[in-house]
Amino acid sequence: MRKNGFLIAVIVLLAAEIAALCLFLAHDASHALDAVAVNEILHAVEENPDAPEPSSHESAPDYVVLDADGNVRFRTKTGLCESIHDAVVHRDTILDFETPEQKSGKIIFYNDSVESLNMHKKTITAVFLCAVFVQCSLCIGYMIYLNRTIIRPFEKLKDFAERVACGNLDVPLSMDRKNIFGAFTESFDIMRCEIKRARIAEAQAAADKKELVAKLSHDIKTPVASIKAASEVGAALTGDEKLRDNYTQIIRKADQINALVSNLFSAALEELQQLTVTAADLASRGLADMLKDADYLHRAEIPAIPDCLLHADPLRLQQVFDNILSNSYKYADSPVQITAAREKNRLVITVEDCGGSLDPQELPLIKEKFMRGKNAGGIEGAGLGLYISDYFMKEMNGELLVENGQHGLRVSVCIALS
């Protein structure tokens, strides 16, 4: 609707400019004198050249009466050409007259076509300037409208896509559903929810697999241990060398089965190596924007970041902050305090909530894969946020510290200096 209004306004202005241009081209710069008024003035001057009667015509031109010697005998107003030479240059109309006393002279009728043309030019120029000003205002306003309704939403979509690519599925895509991209962005947010649901289901399946592997390991190792023990007893009691070799073979196979089960149990922990981290030089001033992006509920005050050069992967570091703030939102649901300080060869960003402390027995294990605290009951999650964040920080030569603070859980992101 706004687009149609803008186009209609531009078309109307263009039509007005074309109409003004046509009027300017159609304007006749040469103003013909009124012959009746000129004859009336001529007779009046012939009767009384010193004080002729004024003309009754509205279109009567201004004029100057000269005698035979070129002296001015009468003028309708000042500022008119008062010599034949000036009148010729000005393109005035010059007529001869003769009084009853046989005295001749000349009448110079003033040519006002130049003033009329200049006035017409000023009017047309003012119309054009107004039209151009209105057009520029419309274009600027429409550019602001496009920036607000198209460019900014696409920039948000870009940031949103980067977050999704990094695995952060907790930050919703907040958009104005009334603009032209409302349904489009809503579909993206629905996609985020579906991917998050699929990730949770995948994590749950992985946890179920881990539990199944643990149960199978226990169920398999128990009878294998019995078989191995019986074989060891049989090998010790038998006197037959061939039978002892058979028992020994059973013992070796039992040990092999135990090794295979142990490998199966640890295989699930090797999937994390597929996540690549590319650390490079990063200016610390960029951390403020990362923290603002992670704190999408605006529950923290972003502190001043000490100026230094860091060694980090900006995408992975953003994911670390996203995971920490997201955990605070989900489990603490309280204001968050963020501090920044430089300590020797690293920059430490500390995030502390007010949601209460963890059980001291859980702290050493909270960064393990699929590990969740007792306060996570009824809250969706996979127990991978701190585990992945810890892996990223180690890959960037940094460290992730989790401890109980004064009011809640305190997580310190230690970033190595370049």
Measured between alpha carbons, how far is 261 from 216 in angstroms, rounded to an integer?
A: 8
Provide the edge-to-edge strand list for the sheet that holds 63-67. Answer: 72-75, 63-67, 104-109, 93-98
- Whether 186 and 177 have beta carbons less than 8 Å apart is answered as yes
Region label for 310, one of left (φ > 0), alpha (ψ between -120 and 50) or beta (otherwise) = beta
Measured between alpha carbons, how far is 177 from 169 in angstroms, rounded to an integer?
A: 20
pLDDT values of the chain reduced to their tens digit, one per residue, 418 residues: 455 666 777 777 777 777 767 766 665 555 567 778 888 888 888 888 888 888 777 778 888 888 888 888 888 888 788 888 888 888 888 888 887 776 788 888 888 777 777 787 788 788 778 877 877 887 888 788 777 777 777 777 777 777 777 767 666 666 666 666 666 667 777 777 887 788 788 877 776 766 666 556 655 765 777 687 788 888 888 878 888 888 887 887 777 677 666 666 555 445 555 567 889 999 999 999 889 888 878 888 889 999 999 999 988 898 889 888 888 888 888 889 999 999 989 999 999 988 877 888 878 788 877 777 776 666 766 677 788 888 889 999 999 999 888 888 899 999 999 8
Residue 342 has a pLDDT of 92
Q: CB-side exposure of 315: number of CA atoms within 13 Å?
A: 14
Q: Provide CB contacts within 8 A for 39, sequence distance 6+.
A: none
Residue type, 68: A
Element (H, E) at 10: helix 2-26
Measured between alpha carbons, how far is 400 from 417 in angstroms, rounded to an integer?
A: 15
Q: Provide CB contacts within 8 A for 66, sequence distance 6+.
A: 72, 73, 82, 83, 84, 105, 106, 107, 108
Residue 250 has a pLDDT of 85
Residue 176 has a pLDDT of 61
Q: How far is CA 163 from the centre of its chain?
A: 15
- Angle value at C-alpha 200, between 199 and 204, nearest 5 degrees: 115
Element (H, E) at 183: helix 182-237
Q: What is the pTM of this model?
A: 0.42
Judged by DSSP in three states, 414 sits in: strand
Residue 66 has a pLDDT of 86
Residue 219 has a pLDDT of 55
DSSP 363: G
